[in-house]
Amino acid sequence: MATKTASTAAFDWAFVPARPGWPRRMARLARQHPAGLFGLIVLVLFVVLGLFGEQLAPYPADELSTGTPLQGPSLSHPFGLNQLGQDVFSRIVSGARISFIIAFWAVFLGAGSGAFLGILGGYFGRWIDYIVQRSGEAFAAFPGLVLFLMLRTAFGPNLKTIIISIGIGALFGGNRILRGQTIIERNQIYVEAARAVGCSEWRIFMRHVLPNVLPLVVVIMSGAIGAAILAESGLAFLGLGPTEASWGRDMSGTNLSIARTGYWHVVVFPGIAISLVVLGSNLLGDALRDIWDPRLRK
């Protein structure tokens, strides 16, 4: 009987399929989530341009008279020239740096910290939750533009002021949603079962509650990327943005007036760049939510 049991166990283990390697798993995820793959490609390109855009641009972003002003797209200037004779393609490639810096700080310092505070307050409650929620309510009393103007007066019109104002907005942007989701997870049966077997509150928080809330954190942080880029573009459109080349600046002021006279390429290509990055971040966030959410795994 013992021999039969041993042989049966050996037979079962022999036919257990091996786990596919990571290239096959990545290829399967790409087939299952083509929109997420598109978003990943867009964001990787955005990061590369943000880090090395000034070196990859065929012309300096602020160089004047690289050709005939307001010339349309051509082989030497794929996106045409603006009214100052600056190459639009070079300005888009170089302008990705400003959007990348603002999005990086807003997401990883603003949205990331705010997400952790919201989850922490929702799980532990008491004075932690009170401080986080009252701080969010105090921030909601100040419109974003008013807060930016106050910081601009205090610190001056520079890139640091824009980063601080957008980062504060991202800090309290989604913590209420995460707080509510954490409260729901905190009252689930599996949390009570973990307490019953003697798990500490910190272990339950890190090993059980946080993984179930993490997909929502990914969606909020991916949305923060697009929101940060749109916020910088809106400030630049109003003439309050950075003085360096940026996508929002190329869509504002004189450029917008010139585009109405028929020179569409001056503002269309910067607008496409903004739209692609915002769309890519949202698509990637939705795909990561579907992949990482334990409730959606098959």
- State the Cα–Cα distance between residues 264 and 252, nearest whole angstrom: 13
pLDDT at 41 over 50: yes
pLDDT digits (tens, 9 = 90+) for 177-215: 888 888 888 888 888 888 888 888 888 888 888 888 887
- Contacts of 77-82 with C-beta under 8 Å, sequence gap 24+, read 79/265, 79/269, 80/263, 80/265, 80/266, 80/269, 82/250, 82/255, 82/258, 82/266
Instruction: Mention the CATH class of domain 35-57+86-296.
Output: mainly alpha
DSSP classification of residue 207: I
Q: Which amino acid is at 120?
A: L
- Spatial neighbors of 205 by CB under 8 A, at least 6 apart, are 123, 124
pLDDT in tens, 3-15: 455 445 455 555 5
Alpha-carbon distance 232 to 98, whole Å?
Answer: 9
Write down the pTM of the prediction. 0.77
